[in-house]
Amino acid sequence: MAWYRYKLLDHQGRPRGGLIDLPFENPLSATTYLERQGGTVVFLQPLPGVLGILVTLVYRFFQRPVKPEETAEVLTNFSVMLRAGIPAITAIRDSMGQSDNPTLSRIGREIVTRVEGGATLANAFGTYPRVFPQTVSFLLGIGEQSGTLDRTSRDAANHVKRLNQIRDDVKKAVTYPTFMLLAIFTALGFWLAVVVPTVTELFESFDLDLPALTLGIIAVADVIGEYTFTVLTAIVVTITAVMAAVKNVPWLRRLWHKALLRIPVFGRIAAISNIAFISEYLSLLLSAGVDMLSSLRTLRGSVKNEVYRERLQIVADELVAGRAMKDAFESAGVFPPFVQRMVSVGEESGSLTEQLQYVAEEYERRLNSLVAGLSKAIEPIALMIGGGLFALVAAGLFLPIYQLIGDVAAM
């Protein structure tokens, strides 16, 4: 895509112009395209490279995000229209061009522009990976070549819905404990920043010999009170830096993903969600007629967890070496015996697609069950952590008071 400044006269002689993003690097091709839409181009000039990149970044920053539910709805409507005999370009215009989401409407217009400019549907949709995952463009390409675009677009819509359900379950699992811990430490910070300094003034007025626990709590409260902004800034900067490092440094990302899989409860959530994703993805690609090795290659580009990405490469290498699928999945070391058994049954009976779909549904069910029971498991742990911290602070504050009461009673 390239940005152009342009001005034209429409078919009624009215001037129109501004900035436009077109899939043409050649100004002549851009001019020809605009005039085919109706009108006469008076002026057209490409923006310089740096300015074009800046405009693109600003444009993306202010655009409204597209939800997975909207993506699934677009693909479903596209499939229905194709089945009714409506041409693909018209179906794209009708399913996306009139969307309530302006970002989706713009993307629809740009996809139409790309297709009219000679791009395939797969390439046109693949230009927007944040809206249409790699699987979608892959399936649309298969549909274009095989003449089953209506079916593959419907399969892509169902795939997006199921993956979104897996992501939602994982988010639910993480949100509750995060909120609980945040609430506990916020309340604890309030005590240390507001309550402890007030009580400390009382202790100083009586010139008491304070226990080590109380002195420690007062020291922490002083640091928080004096360096609150610095502490918060340090926490935010540290978290941001760690997240950026994990995202951009492969070996660190792998280390984090490996550690995540070993964390109690959360490691199980990560493992179940990854197996559900992999099974769903493989089942979909195999049902579309893609061979196993190509499916694994495509899948490796979509799996976010580095550990599972490496293990999928092991599966592919084992298959290339001539080993059975069950043995290949067993060699990976991350697929449970249940998955290995279902793959073996599918390979022997010729029903691998159905068996993988069953595995995906089973692990989605397990994930739902785990998320539903997570709040019950986390609540007593959170109460123990919060209760223990507050009991520690309360003990540090009340010990001097008991000491004072004892001294007064002895007088």
pLDDT at 317: 92
In this structure, how many other beta carbons lie within 10 angstroms of the beta carbon of residue 122?
Answer: 18
Are 279 and 359 in contact by the 8 Å Cβ rule? The answer is: yes
Distance CA 36, CA 113 (A): 11
Closest CA to 30 of 63, 52, 57: 52
Q: What is the DSSP letter of 160?
A: H
**Selecting from 1.10.490.10, 3.40.50.720, 1.10.3720.10, 1.20.81.30, what CATH number does the domain 138-144+151-411 have?**
1.20.81.30
pLDDT at 405: 67
Predicted model pTM: 0.68
Closest CA to 99 of 124, 146, 67, 133: 67
pLDDT at 206: 67
Are 125 and 111 in contact by the 8 Å Cβ rule? The answer is: yes
CA angle 350, 353, 356 (to 5 degrees): 115
Describe the strand order of the beta sheet including 40-46 as a list of residue ranges. Answer: 15-22, 2-9, 40-46
**Which of helix, strand or coil describes residue 86?**
coil
Tokens of 36: 């085919």
Are 271 and 317 in contact by the 8 Å Cβ rule? The answer is: no
In residues, how long is the chain? 411
pLDDT at 410: 55
**Exposure class string for 292-313: b at 16+ Cβ within 10 A, else e:** beebbebbbebbebbbbbbbbe
pLDDT along the chain (411 residues), means of 10: 76 76 74 75 78 72 80 89 89 80 83 81 84 83 84 86 81 75 78 76 71 79 75 83 83 87 82 88 83 85 86 91 89 89 88 88 84 71 77 76 63 55
Closest CA to 325 of 353, 306, 305, 301: 353
Distance CA 324, CA 318 (A): 8
The ranges assigned to domains in the chain are 2-62, 68-132, 138-144+151-411
pLDDT at 286: 85
pLDDT at 221: 79
